Amino acid sequence: KAARVLRDFGVSAIDINFGCPQNVAKRGKYGAYLLEDVPLMQRLVSAVADAMEGTSIPVTCKMRCLDTHEATLGVAKSLVDAGASVLTIHGRTLRQNKQRSGSANWGMMRDVCDALRAAYTAGSGRGVSVVANGSVASLCDAEKLAAFTGAEGVMSAEALLENPAAFMRDAVV
């Protein structure tokens, strides 16, 4: 019902964030804590995609990596199968947040890009774009991540919150 209200309001896209690792998400069983319940994630994406049927409004999803490549690729494909047309993959696991964040796994993000590109080619009638997210603190990092993963887009949060000019070509960082 909420998706139909947003559709009728004229939104440009609907994003479902399966990437939030905060404790409030754990208490509410949303965000990255839904990664443990893939059938529920699929039902959510499918319901929103069904509500957008016949429109040009894309359903996008953000997810974090899981502990294995197989699990990560399985969830990524299941979200696309359920109706996501854009998938943002954060290169960290649920346990990698705040002081335990460490570097993002660019290899895992590249594998997701490759797997989705192979599974959903233009000839299959189902296309998907991938946005890579993690360990991007500058324009140079963003360009390197895009080149390394082959992702159609790159996302950054912390660096831009700290310095909104960080991605300008002539920025002083």
Question: Which residues does the annotation mark as catalytic?
Answer: 20
CA dist 51 → 25, 32, 86, 171 (Å): 25, 23, 17, 42
Residue pair 62/88 in contact (Cβ under 8 Å)? The answer is yes
Task: List the Cα angle 78/80/81 in 5-degree steps.
Answer: 60
Q: Which two tokens stand for residue 50?
A: 């069904």
- Rg of the Cα atoms in the chain: 16
Q: For residue 139, count CB atoms less than 10 angstroms from its CB and return exposed for 0-12, middle for 13-18, buried for 19 or more.
A: middle
